[in-house]
Structures are given as structure tokens and as C-alpha cells.
Amino acid sequence: EPEVTQTPSHQVTQMGQEVILRCVPISNHLYFYWYRQILGQKVEFLVSFYNNEISEKSEIFDDQFSVERPDGSNFTLKIRSTKLEDSAMYFCASGTYLNSPLHFGNGTRLTVT
């Protein structure tokens, strides 16, 4: 069964550094999402992406965040200047059509020191 894949599984970075989290959604999916989960807290919606543009973003998704689909397969989340509070598990998800269930990746654990 096809899966959403995320790399790396764990990323450690210093405060102020830029980080790019990578995701390869399932190939025929059209809707892409990033969620995050700070340790001990809820899984929170960050951003949704469709037709090469952001369709919705949360309050968390400020100017430090950006998403891109640089080619036909990758979907990236960039954090420009990481802060300690960005430490979390970041989940990528994709779906075939608007109301299809989401398929999640295994997540990338980001640790900002």
C-alpha cells in the first residue's frame, strides 16, 4: 500500500537556523497538509496546500514558515529561523480529493537547541 514518507525522521538544529522538512505524498494525491504536535500536546493543523497554493493556514503558520512543492513529488515545510518552541513532531498528510481521509506520514521530530 502506498505511504506518505517523511525525511528525516529526526532533525536537530540550533536556534536561529533554517530547517527544511521533506515529505513525499502519495503519488495521485492532490491535497497536502502539515500538522505538528508539541510533546504532550494536541496534534495541530498548520497549513493546507492545493493546486500549488496555500488554501488555509493556522495562526501558528506565521512568516517564519513556508511550504513548497518544488517538483511533482516533494512537499516541503521550511522554517526560516527556528525557535526553541518550534521543537515538535511535524506530520505531513495527503488526500486524493477534498473529503477523502488523510494519509499521514511517520513524522519528523524537530529538536531546536
Distance CA 49, CA 59 (A): 16
For residue 65, state whether it binds other proteins (rule: CB under 8 A).
Answer: no
Q: Count CB atoms within 10 A of the CB of residue 33.
A: 24
Largest Cα–Cα distance in the chain?
A: 38
For residue 25, state whether it binds other proteins (rule: CB under 8 A).
Answer: no
Residue 59 neighbours by CB under 8 Å, 6+ apart? none
Q: DSSP state, 40?
A: T
For residue 30, state whether it binds other proteins (rule: CB under 8 A).
Answer: no
For residue 15, state whether it binds other proteins (rule: CB under 8 A).
Answer: no
Residue 41 C-beta: closest distance to other proteins, Å: 7
Among 24, 45, 60, 109, the residue binding other proteins under the rule CB under 8 A is: 45
Among 12, 17, 56, 113, the residue binding other proteins under the rule CB under 8 A is: 56
- Residue 82 CA, distance from chain mean position: 15
**Interface with other proteins (CB under 8 A):** 3-4, 31, 33, 35, 41-45, 48, 50, 55-56, 91, 95, 98-102, 104-107
